[in-house]
Amino acid sequence: MHRDDVDHKLKIMGIWLHGLGMIVVLALVLSGVCFVHGPIERQIADDAARADALQRLLRGEAGVRAEHTRLSKELAAARKEAVELNSRIPDEPREADFLAQVSRLADDVGLQIQDYRPGTIASNHSYSTMQVDLICEGDYASICSFVDRLAELPRFSTVVQLQIEPGDAEEQYATKLTLKLYFGVKGIAHGASASKA
């Protein structure tokens, strides 16, 4: 009996040890799920979100490239226009040269310049200007052609004021035209900017 008692106790102890082993295994599995599987699931979700964001970025990349190309072309055109404009602006007023250009243009369109009056010079931080008054006479078409073709002259100028009144002769108009001549651009060397284009 003694032996049966020992066997019985050993069986009970074996059952307890198996139960304890099962509890330990179950605890290891649960901790594996909590400490390994959970972070892996979170990492998978984070990676999926990041992949989705990168896909959206890639889909938008073509638009970004197109916008960059468009803006680069606009910048190149603006730089070219600035160089061309700068080449039309001398360092000094040179109003006599401008008078010669304006006189040729007036002859071409049939406008008579009766008076040419250089006016005030003004300077700001980036350029200087000189106001010039022209007193002219011609028909309406010649006045319009003259004003339109001023932009084609080698010298850059802008129209500040234009007054048209009936003249002495029929179909002739007396015109007072105030122009602004630009010169002395500061901070840009004419030769350097032309060579960069």
User: What are the residue ranges spanned by the domains of the chain?
Assistant: 1-87, 95-186
State residue 188's pLDDT score. Answer: 58
Global pTM reads 0.59
CATH architecture entry for 95-186? 2-Layer Sandwich (3.30)
Q: 10 Å Cβ neighbour count for 88?
A: 12
Are 71 and 170 in contact by the 8 Å Cβ rule? The answer is no
For residue 117, the 8-state DSSP code is: E
When mean pLDDT is compared across 65-74, 78-87, 169-178, 187-196, the lowest value belongs to: 187-196
The tens digit of pLDDT for each residue in 131-155 reads: 999 999 999 999 999 999 999 999 9
Tell me what percent of the residues of the chain surpass a pLDDT of 90: 47
Looking at residue 157, the DSSP 8-state letter turns out to be: E
Sheet holding 128-138, edge to edge: 112-123, 128-138, 173-183, 157-166
72, pLDDT greater than 60 = yes
Residue 109, CA distances (Å) to 105, 143, 145, 151 in order: 6, 8, 6, 14
Q: Which of 182, 181, 177 is nearest to 144 (CA)?
A: 177
Q: Of 115, 97, 100, which Cα lies nearest the Cα of 176? A: 115
Share of the chain above pLDDT 70, in %: 93
Q: Quick check: 130 pLDDT over 90?
A: yes
**pLDDT digits over 9-46, tens only?**
888 888 888 888 889 888 888 887 777 777 888 888 99
**At residue 124, what are phi and psi to the nearest 5 degrees?**
-130, -165
